[in-house]
Structure 1
Amino acid sequence: MFTQKEYVEIDGHEHGMIIEGTDKENPLLLFVHGGPGFPEYPLMAAEKLAWLEDVTVCYWDQPGAGMSYNPKTQGELSIDRYVNDCLAITKHLKQQWKREKIYLFGHSWGSMIACLTAHAHPEHFRALITSGQMGRHRESTKDTLKFLERSAAVRGEHGVVKRVKKVKIDDTLHENADYRMLLGKVNKYGGGMKKNGYSNTNSLVDIMKCRAYTLRERMNILPGAALTYKQVGKEMMDVDVAERTKRFEMPVYIMHGRYDYQTSLLEAERFFEKIDAPHKDFNVFENSAHTPFIEEQDKFIQLFQQILQNDGVTS
């Protein structure tokens, strides 16, 4: 197995990435993490997802996240900026690894960026794969709040029920500190990163144990995530990904957890129904929340290998 860490400058800002694999001749995949502003390499490294036998994976830290956090150079962040940067990283990888096309994998917020990039620049990608697929974040947030209210009521946490009812889904929601605190309950109730729970403490442990990151890069993650959400939260709330990406020129594969209440299953299903592609496939993971590729790894690897076979990569 090999692990490479590198930095690439785009428009005066340094982007960090970690590239891992077992065979440099394997197909190449760009992983677009969620958040916004929350890199997932520490989680992936801790869980040791077994897909490195089949692909070489580039874990790119987006502007404002971990290896790519620098308020002095990153400037104003926007969805279009992330799409442009994703395209630049794609071109860099294709040139560096001498690939005609690569796979694109988007998780959560990253599914939005991956979809917009693949839709606008299809010539670079063999297939689009997403998990925690975003659709209309405003509508997804309504589903999240219903889940919180229902779960709190079952547990007799009447104070939480009252707090949920006070939340207004408006243009200032991304600045609502009480709402951000409530989102921690999604993890507690089994609708967050993992159905069986994945607390902020669990996340911090994975981050601090991540040897590939310097101490400064580890410390960048929390302030980076806060700053990033503050800058793009309102714009994210207004986007309808299905309306922005009605047609794809490559196969599209979506994997979603039944218990995902960070990105609504209903919104993911609506997105799937509305888009057109040469081939599209939707798989629901019955025992997962927001990270089915971690929670049900055997099923994910089986489906992932089938994607590669469909593309003629493996025999």
Structure 2
Amino acid sequence: MLQIMIFAGLMFINMAAGIFTLVLGMLGLKNLISRTPNNRLVNRLKNSAVFFMILSFVSLGFVFYTQFAAGTPAIRDEKGSIIKDSIAEMRRIEINGRKQWISIRGHNKNNPVILFLAGGPGGTQMAAVRHDLKELEKYFVVVNWDQPGSGKSYYAEKVSDITPKTYIEDGYVLTNYLRETFEQQKIFLVGESWGSALGIFLIDRYPNAYHAFVGTGQMVDFKETERIDYQKAMELAKAAKDTDIIRKLEQNGIPPYYGDDVTWKSAVYINYLSAYMSSDTRIHNAGYNTFRDIFSSEYGLIDKMNYIRGIIKTFNHVYQQLYGIDLRKDYVSLKVPVYFFEGRYDINAPLSLVEEYVNTIDAPAKQIVWFEHSGHNPWINESGKFVEELKKLLPR
């Protein structure tokens, strides 16, 4: 928060300086300076110009400093000492020619590796997973990946060039990087929301790379999900006599949406459903702690801005490419055990679709694990149980 306040103050001063300079130019004081070099006013203007120039360099330096200083905190014991054999790193690696960031955290770097696939597309959850699944680091090496077009990897690829194939190809290269780095034949895979679909794509295409897959807030059929969500939001809005939301939903029409305003149209019902779940007393620890996460140490000032840009711009471009995907039709024969950790009160990713999907799957093992006090995010709502269920997948 302090970084943002300082940066905002500096930017405000620089903007004021720019306006001030523009006004001087319009008044023709440039000629005045050349004709009256000893004028007291002119000297003040020169000093002001130098001051604002220095301030601009300081502002730019501060931005680069926050990027350079961004990192993930060390893992320490109760006495404050760094735990032996622990790992807590941020790494910038090149994947298929694209520079991307991952965070790696674990009490013991020799533990099994688990790769967490964030939601979105365009979302980053490095900080959220560190805060909410801290206990998981005792049993796994937890790796978070900022996918192209999100957070610290926002510039890895032009947003307009990103496709689902981009994520699949990069996800597999990253998987092999982790297997080689930690000398493990296979890793575990966890995907939430959009990441749950990406996880299915990966285990379907590269089954030999993964011990098991866990999907939470599981997405199944993107187009049908949007229609169900829209109808649910309309139902809730009418019951609450929320005329503003009803008007917006009617104005936007029934999804799917295409074009440049997918994010904003979808946000009407997605945010409404999220707010409803946050107010549901049956759901524990409801909702994201967005301010905590965006101001976490993992992100510099540019990353913080890209945190938002990814959610808006990348989501808008990629999500409409997913409407033709239905896992029930194209991803039913899987060679990796699959588990779905589902919140009983999730109204974002329809549970009926998840149950239908499980019934169609042919896999070495398959199971829905229900979280009775969760909505769309069991890994946040009931993080303790989430960790305990993941531990059950470890080799005995």
TM-score for both structures, normalised by structure 1: 0.90
Partner of residue 271, structure 1: 357
Higher-RCO chain (CA-CA 8 Å, sequence separation at least 6): 1
CA distance in 2, matches of 1:147, 1:71: 36
Shift in Å at residue 184 of structure 1? Answer: 1.7
CA distance in 1, matches of 2:207, 2:353: 23
Describe the SS at the equivalent of 1:127.
strand
CA distance in 1, matches of 2:275, 2:225: 18
Shift in Å at residue 171 of structure 1? Answer: 4.7
Q: Write the letter of the residue equivalent to 2:324.
A: D
Shift in Å at residue 228 of structure 1? Answer: 1.3
Which runs of structure 2 are paired with 1:232-251 in the superposition (5 Å)? Answer: 232-251=318-337
Q: Deviations over 1:196-250 (max 9, x none)?
A: 6436xx4133211x11222221221111222212221221122112322111111
Partner of residue 39, structure 1: 124
CA RMSD of aligned residues (A): 2.2
CA distance in 2, matches of 1:274, 1:63: 31
Q: 1:192 to 1:26 in 2, by over 3 A?
A: farther
> Are 1:206 and 2:293 an aligned pair?
yes
Partner of residue 222, structure 1: 308
Q: 1:182 to 1:173 in 2, by over 3 A?
A: farther
Which 4+ runs in 1 deviate beyond 3 A? 71-75, 191-197
TM-score for both structures, normalised by structure 2: 0.72
Q: 1:110 to 1:130 in 2, by over 3 A?
A: same
Q: Aligned match of 1:254 in 340, 359, 364?
A: 340
Q: Write the letter of the residue equivalent to 1:230.
A: N
Which stretch of structure 1 is more off in the superposition, 17-26 or 175-184? 175-184
Partner of residue 182, structure 2: 97
8 Å contact kept, 1:132–1:268:
no
8 Å contact kept, 1:248–1:276:
yes
Q: 1:191 to 1:260 in 2, by over 3 A?
A: farther
Q: Gapped runs of 5+ residues in structure 2?
A: 1-74, 76-86
Which stretch of structure 1 is more off in the superposition, 74-83 or 187-196? 187-196
Partner of residue 18, structure 1: 103
Shift in Å at residue 273 of structure 1? Answer: 1.4
Aligned length: 307
Q: 1:72 to 1:247 in 2, by over 3 A?
A: closer
Q: Gapped runs of 5+ residues in structure 1?
A: none
8 Å contact kept, 2:284–2:382:
no
Shift in Å at residue 264 of structure 1? Answer: 1.4
Shift in Å at residue 174 of structure 1? Answer: 7.3
CA distance in 2, matches of 1:188, 1:122: 37
CA distance in 2, matches of 1:240, 1:192: 31
Shift in Å at residue 73 of structure 1? Answer: 5.5
8 Å contact kept, 1:132–1:256:
yes
> Are 1:88 and 2:161 an aligned pair?
no
> Are 1:304 and 2:393 an aligned pair?
no
Which stretch of structure 1 is more off in the superposition, 103-112 or 240-249? 240-249
Q: 1:195 to 1:139 in 2, by over 3 A?
A: farther
CA distance in 1, matches of 2:286, 2:140: 28
Q: Aligned match of 1:145 in 230, 240, 253?
A: 230
CA distance in 2, matches of 1:212, 1:102: 24
Q: 1:142 to 1:196 in 2, by over 3 A?
A: farther
